[in-house]
Amino acid sequence: MRIGAIEAGGTKFVCGIGDENGRFEHRISFPTEHPDQTLPRVITYFQDKGVEAMGIGSFGPIDIRQDSPTYGYVTTTPKPGWGNYDLLGTLKQAFPVPFGFDTDVNAAVYGEVKWGAGQGLSSCLYITVGTGVGIGVYSEGQLVHGLVHPEGGHLLTRRHPEDDFVGSCPYHGDCLEGMAAGPAIEARWGKKGHELPVDHRAWKMEAFYIAQSITDAILLLSPQKIILGGGVMQQPQLYPLIREAVLLNLNGYVSSSAILDHMEEYIVSPGLGQQAGLGGALALGLTAWNNRVSSI
């Protein structure tokens, strides 16, 4: 079968056509402009492709409460044209097929659980560290929505003792995103992450902040695996530093062999690589198709 997948990011849209096994036959990507420009491109791409279902993983905040009158909207973003925009409705009008709709990071964790590093698990986190930080949460076999949806990128941090950077989050200053996202690295060190040497002390500090949030997530949710992706995580030296810092933080308190003895398999890179988000959108579309009796 053919399923349409849309990774609706704040910077770029990635669209693809895949099948029920997670394989893509085609992909396309274009910059995110005003929805009046972007949506027609999306619709043109999928037109006459014969997709039987579609899945969207979207930048946010979005409304994912299915019983809400604004279900499927991008809500309070300052991004021109996207505030209070009916993303799902616009696409539904063009394509009368079952739709799955969730946050970009929930899509990513779902893609990883379906076809990536989280296969077979009932609980898993996907943390992306890039231009921003986001955390997708899959728990007890379900994507977590709750009241709005998780916004784990803004978890509070305790400050590294050698760090006097004020933090770059306009809401919280020194939250996780404010201290660890790409722009924070650049503002703190005066260079982009990929311009810093692999043994620069920036990376230990970066690991310190990411590990804190992972520690908190382990304590609050006890996930079976944590998958770390995004542009900043293209620095492979971060993984061992983060694993080490998490073990130090937990100090043996969570008595699980998965954590104590198999940390290299507990905190991992995405099995789908850069395609976790698009693969997740595909998985959301497939699930919508499987549930189509109740969802149309």
Interface with a copy of itself (CB under 8 A), residue from 75, 90, 234, 237? 75
What is d(CA 107, CA 282) in angstroms, rounded to the nearest whole number? Answer: 9
Nearest to a copy of itself of 212, 235 (CB atom): 212
Q: How many CA atoms lie within 13 A of 228 on its CB side?
A: 25
CA angle, 285 as apex, 19 and 97 as ends, to 5°?
100
Among the residue ranges 13-21, 38-46, 247-255, 275-283, the one whose residues contact a copy of itself (CB under 8 A): 247-255
Instruction: Pick one of 107, 143, 210, 288: the residue that binds a copy of itself (CB under 8 A).
Output: 143
Judged by CB under 8 A, the stretch of 35-43, 87-95, 198-206, 245-253 that binds a copy of itself is 245-253
Q: How many CA atoms lie within 13 A of 175 on its CB side?
A: 14
- Does 69 bind a copy of itself (CB under 8 A)? Our answer is no
Closest CB 118 distance from a copy of itself, rounded Å:
13
- The DSSP secondary structure of 192-246, one letter per residue, reads -GGGS-TTSHHHHHHHHHHHHHHHHHHHHH--S-EEEESGGGG-TTHHHHHHHHH
Q: Which amino acid is at 112?
A: E
Integer Cα distance of 257 and 234 in angstroms: 27
Q: Is 220 in the site for a copy of itself (CB under 8 A)?
A: yes
Q: Is the peptide bond before 61 cis (omega within 30 degrees of 0)?
A: yes
Q: How crowded is residue 16: how many other Cβ atoms within 10 Å of its Cβ?
A: 22
Size of the site for a copy of itself (CB under 8 A): 49
Nearer to a copy of itself, 211 or 278 (CB): 211
Residue 207 in contact with a copy of itself, rule: CB under 8 A: no
Residues 160-199 binding a copy of itself (CB under 8 A) are 171-172
State in angstroms the smallest separation of the CB of 219 from a copy of itself.
5
User: Does the protein bind a copy of itself through residue 106 (CB under 8 A)?
Assistant: no
Q: Does residue 61 interact with a copy of itself by CB under 8 A?
A: yes
d(CA 204, CA 179): 13
Q: Taking the complex as a whole, how short is the minimal distance between the CB of residue 13 and a copy of itself, in angstroms?
A: 23
Examine residue 70 and tell whether it contacts a copy of itself (CB under 8 A).
no
> Of 36, 31, 1, which is closest to residue 17 (Cα–Cα)?
1
Contact string (CB under 8 A) for a copy of itself, positions 2-41, x = contact: ----------------------------------------
- Asked if residue 58 binds a copy of itself (CB under 8 A), the reply is no
Half-sphere exposure of 74 (CA within 13 A, CB side): 22
CB 180 within 8 A of CB 209: yes
Residues 6+ apart with CB under 8 A from 9: 32, 59, 104, 277
Verify binding: residue 146, a copy of itself, rule CB under 8 A: yes
Residue 210 binds to a copy of itself (criterion: CB under 8 A): no
* Residues near a copy of itself (CB under 8 A): 61, 75-76, 122-123, 135, 137, 139-140, 142-159, 171-172, 212, 215-217, 219-224, 249-256, 258-259
